[in-house]
Homo-oligomer: A and B are copies of this chain.
Amino acid sequence: MRIDLNSDLGESFGPWPMGQDAALMDSISSANVACGFHAGDPGTMRATIALARDRGVAIGAHPGFQDLVGFGRREIKVSPAEVADLVLYQVSALAGMAAAQGMKLQHVKAHGALYNMACKDRGLADAIAAAVASLDRSLILFGLPNSELLRAGEAAGLPVAAEVFADRAYDPDGSLTSRSKPGSVIHDAGLVVTRAVRMVREQSVVAVDGSTIALQADTICLHGDTPGAADLARAVRKGLEEAGIQIACLSG
């Protein structure tokens, strides 16, 4: 039994540091690297690739909207063609920078509002999948379980990975509980570990109403931008390993 642990890294920009990349690298198996549109810059990308390579962590592209001030978290009404272009540009930029260090990208995970929009909108999802497939059909496309993004990836012939969140509450329909609701983010490390183990072992999660729902879980996302993120990541990894689950990247 094995699982991939991913985290969003390389989100510093110019003089502004963000996150605890070095510390997180010890716990994760896959790093989603920002590509310069919502965060990250060429120097940060190079350094993040080097760090992942040194720690044996697989890397993927984390393309987002061109919106630094909004950190790519604000929905922008874009056409599928615009999305295809901005995804292909960013994934290509990271892929080349990775190749220059002898690394190959493992996956692509859309960032922020782009991810959320593409999980629900098949047109945008198809655009992302087509852009990724046009570059490299071995790239694994990340998306929420049962999302349009995963379906689009499969339709485009890409390998896909269903992403779950051990520290987020789920509604009975399998969607993430809105962050605006109390209890939507789980801070208790023990509970997060328990949920993570269950997600991997049983491919299910207990929703906010107490019901158990099935949930495909190929990779667990660990947040890197919160205080205590590195500690929580370590706890989740340790808990999974103690439960006999191997942490390994998807391309391993």
Residues of A within 8 A of B (CB): 12-18, 36, 39, 41-43, 45-46, 66-71, 74-78, 81-82, 85-86, 88-97, 99-101, 113, 131, 134-135
Q: If A82-B43, A99-B135 touch, does A14 touch B92 (CB 8 Å cutoff)?
A: no
Q: Which residues of B contact A39 (CB under 8 A)?
A: 15
Chain B residues in 8 Å Cβ range of A86:
42
Interfacial chain B residues near A90, Cβ < 8 Å: 93
Residue among A41, A76, A93, A94 facing the most chain B CB atoms (10 A cut-off): A93
With A74-B78, A85-B42 already in contact, the answer to whether A14 and B68 are too (CB < 8 A) is yes
Q: Which of A12, A77, A90, A91 has the most CB of B within 10 A?
A: A77
Please report the C-alpha to C-alpha distance between residue A43 and residue B83 in the assembled complex, in whole angstroms. 10
Contact (A76, B81) CB under 8 Å given A46-B88, A92-B92: no
Given A13-B13, A42-B85, A77-B113, 19 new contacts (CB under 8 A): A13-B69, A14-B68, A15-B39, A16-B16, A16-B17, A36-B89, A41-B69, A41-B85, A46-B88, A66-B67, A66-B69, A75-B76, A88-B97, A88-B100, A91-B96, A92-B92, A92-B95, A92-B99, A100-B135
B42 in contact with A88 (CB, 8 Å): yes
User: When A and B form their complex, which 3 residue pairs have the shortest distance between CB atoms, in order from nearest?
Assistant: A92-B96, A16-B16, A42-B85
Pairwise interchain contact A15-B71, C-beta atoms closer than 8 A:
yes
Question: CB distance A131 to B100 under 8 Å?
Answer: yes
What's the Cα separation between A71 and B85 when bound, in Å?
A: 17
CA distance A81 to B81 in the complex (A): 31
- Are B18 and A134 within 8 A (Cβ)? no
A100 to B137, CA, bound (A): 11
A14 touches B71 (CB 8 A): yes
Rounded to whole Å, the gap between the CB of A113 and the closest CB of chain B is 7
Contact B100 A96 (CB under 8 A): no
Can you give 11 contacting A-B residue pairs, CB < 8 Å? A13-B69, A16-B18, A42-B82, A67-B76, A74-B76, A89-B97, A92-B93, A92-B95, A92-B97, A95-B96, A100-B135
User: Chain B CB within 10 Å — which of A13, A42, A91, A95 has the most?
Assistant: A42
Q: Which residues of B contact A13 (CB under 8 A)?
A: 13, 16, 68-69
- Min Cβ gap A156→B in Å is 13
Q: Which residue of B lies closest to A39 (CB)?
A: B15
Contact of A46 among B17, B36, B85, B99 (CB under 8 A): B85
